[in-house]
Amino acid sequence: MNHSNTSTDSATSHGLGQQIPYERFLDCVHCGLCTAACPTYAETGNENDGPRGRIYLMRAIVDGRLELTDTARKHLDLCLDCRSCETACPSGVQYGRILEPFRVDMQQIPAFTTSEGDATPAWFRKWILYGLFPYRRRLEWALTPARWMQKFGLDRLAEKLGITRFLPTHLQRMQQQLPRLKPHEKPLPEFLPAKGTRRATVGLFIGCVADAMFRHVHWATARVLQENGCDVIIPGQQSCCGAIHYHSGASEPMMQLMAMNADAFLEKPLDAVVVNVAGCGSMLKDYSHVTEELATHDPDAAGRINRLCSLVKDVHEFLAELGPISPSGKLPVKVAYQDACHLQHAQRIQKQPRDLLQMVPGLSLTHVDEPELCCGAAGTYNLTQPEMANRLGQRKLNHLLNNAPDVIASANAGCSLQLQAQLKSAGHDLPVMHPMEILDHSYRNQPLP
């Protein structure tokens, strides 16, 4: 079939999906093995809400057999881009490399950027998703009033009085998702020396939301790396990884962020660029496939970005390869480990976090059902698709709590926010911690809070 022959009134007249190698659509043989691993299909049972159905929709639009209607777009927007279908697929379909560029193209069509099919208001996309979240200093400043409100209990008072219901829907959702913020910590310095014999020199990626809301995790990660003989360099010029823009269809600012990160981390020789946020790590590792277009007109920039990509390691992956030094502090706790989608599916990292946690004396891991299904966070998905995000969050929480853990461990900032919000909503007082925090307490021989 010649998929470039389309009618003039079709969505393909806008070039929708034309840059996606057509063979990627053909890789899908429609066997359906992916559907059981798809969170949205598990909830709705609708073929159009599963990977096979979505690939069929996108291919039909590219072929000109179907227009991008609001209904079709809703099915595509409902996808979490969790990549669990890639893990389940026996044919090696690169689903993320079909969906993500297709979403970029959808955002370029004026008739659809303000469509009712788009659940995200234009103002929220411009001022919050793109204007606030990717900038850690802006976000840190914006969180200052929230810290004071939490300190004096004004947030709970506002909820009891119903004041928060006067906020726009998406801001209400942000307020509901806000966790109990830790006391403000000073920014990480640009250099932290290894303890003992130096075994490696690494760059630590701190990102945007993760640094503003989870800086304590960065400090814990840096200390764990130091304990394992690593000089840790934290470039101040680094920026957001670009996932917020890319997953919502804004490719140009994402390219600019890529270049900034390449400049920041390639300034000094590094053995690895270590990332402790699954979503950021996945995006940074995947930079190479989104620079294909850039390589045609700026090969030097594309080359630098690809060099950065080759250095990126998830912190669990890096420590496992380095050979971790066992901590000695005993922590007699039962931990339910939640597999972040962009760690287990996009990066194929499952064993390493469990192995590291099991090095801690006294710690035991509980069994968790349906570990392959997403918790509903998926970056900003729990803000833009709240109904489905809540359904998936409750489903995940039920499985995590099934064996009465003392702690939930999660290696992704978005998952942590989602799980904390679900715990709060369900009335549970249970800590959600990054595996690096748990290891850090063991290395320092400190009990968990």
Res. 50 pLDDT band, cuts 50 70 90: very high
Q: For residues 283 and 382, state if they share a domain.
A: no
Q: What is the mean pLDDT of residues 387-413?
A: 94
Same domain, 163 and 231: no
- Specify the number of domains making up the chain: 4
Among 275, 303, 321, residue at a domain's last position:
321
Q: What is the pLDDT of residue 3?
A: 43
Give residue for tokens 């290894």. Answer: 194
Strand partners, 407: 335
Residue 424's identity, in one-letter code, is K
Q: What is the pTM of this model?
A: 0.88
State whether 215 and 307 are in the same domain. yes
The tokens for 445 are 């021989």
Give me the pLDDT at residue 158, please: 79
Q: What are phi and psi of 421, to 5 degrees?
A: -65, -40
On whether both 213 and 245 belong to a single domain, the answer is: yes
Kindly state the tokens that stand for 92. Answer: 């090696």
Report DSSP letters for 400-423, one per residue. HHTT--SEEEES-HHHHHHHHHHH
| 309-339: pLDDT as tens digits | 999 999 999 999 999 999 999 999 999 999 9
Buried b or exposed e, range 25-42, using 16+ CB within 10 angstroms = beebeeeeebbebbbbbb
Mean pLDDT score of the chain: 88
Whole-angstrom distance, CA of residue 359 vs CA of residue 357: 5
Domain edge (last residue) among 321, 351, 374: 321
Both 202 and 314 in a single domain? yes
CA dihedral 9, 246, 341, 94 (to 10 degrees): 50
Q: Is the pLDDT of residue 128 over 70?
A: yes
Structural domain of residue 155, as residue ranges?
A: 122-177
Q: Is the pLDDT of residue 231 over 50?
A: yes
Q: Are residues 196 and 303 in the same domain?
A: yes
Q: How far apart are CA 329 and CA 445, in angstroms?
A: 4
- pLDDT given for residue 169 in this prediction: 76
